[in-house]
Amino acid sequence: MRIVSGPEASEIIERVAARGQQVGPSDSQAQRIVREVRQNGDSALRRFAEQWDGLSPQEPIKISKHELAAAQRRLTAPLRASIRESAENIRRFCELQKPRSFTRSRAGITLGQIVKPLESVGCYIPGGRYPLLSTVLMTVIPAQVAGVKQIRVVSPNPSREVLAVAAMLGVREFYRIGGAQAIAALAYGTESIPRVQKIVGPGNAYVTTAKRLVAFDCAIDFLAGPTEAVILSERGKPQFIASDLIAQAEHDVDALAFLITTSRVLAHAVVEILERLVQGNPTAKASLQKGAVFLASSKAQAREWANRVAPEHITVDEEYAPFIQNAGSIFVGDYSAQAAGDYASGPNHVLPTAGQARFRGGLSVLDFVKIISVQKLSRRGLRSIAPAIECLATAEGLLGHADSIRVRRADA
């Protein structure tokens, strides 16, 4: 990882700020897969699952409750306790996030909102090199807190530990499929998998592309890209900073890993430690070769750079925290390791990437509910605002709107 400053640093920051979801070779392939599953249902789904997800010809797509229970029984006591502690923290945080229904009345007008859970959601759990137990917790628990009744989990070739977490949470529908074919099955339904109202969870380029393709027919959370970690610090501990950058970089060879600082001493100390720590971690080493340490000329410039990047994760010195406008999740101070948010502190680890933190936060209970407004007007209440309604409707040329108010005013 190299240190950059001056115009070169500003130029790199601007390029990163302009990043977005890239159109790649996965697009045409994902489009074909989605189309075939939509048209042919289980026959296409099983063919793709056998080809890419490791599903054997005799193996059912849906995992039985007995297999889920067996996986749970085989958990070690320490892992079981850790899952339970993490789940409790996530659930407690989700309860705090949950929006409330309300009603308010004034001058003959009663207004309010009711909060209704979605009826069904699909939770995508990535496969790959690492069994992401934590993603089961982060996607299923907020749906449960929201009150979603039908939660369908999909994952290609799921590990025993992933199945055990699902069982501990009471998941009843778990399907051993992944990729674009899983997204298509959830969005449109097949003989084996009923369609859902929304799909959440991260995945590879094929999953992300498929979510984009079905987004007009099935709601999605957002399009997740490679992991992003930024550290904004003047006085953080170099060892802690280096360890956070490596922790996030090991997710993906395309991960974004930046340190932004005004301290030349800190910059060099972190680079020196990183060079030692990446030995033996090829994924982190590859990712950090694309990362950088940005040496800002002032704290104001450092803050501006951080907000321009709008990263998924950002760790900041406490003095910087009030100035962060764009981030998926903010970690404040030396001991707020980004890995704590990945697993057990409570907030969700499914976070916006590719600059989407400019306009949305991470996955939350709000993603699993709909808020419906309610209004009740008495005769007196309608009369109090009728002149304004009629005036606005007439200005827009919508005379039927105005008449619908006048007819009520005339009703004695």
d(C-alpha 61, C-alpha 56), whole Å: 10
Q: What residue type is 172 in one-letter code?
A: R
Q: Which residues of 96-115 are buried (b: 16+ CB within 10 A; e: fewer)?
A: ebbeeeeeeeeeebeeebeb
The answer to whether residue 67 is catalytic is: no
Catalytic residue chosen out of the listed positions 36, 173, 312, 390: 312
The answer to whether residue 312 is catalytic is: yes
Catalytic residue chosen out of the listed positions 36, 313, 349, 390: 313
Which active-site residues does the annotation give?
312-313
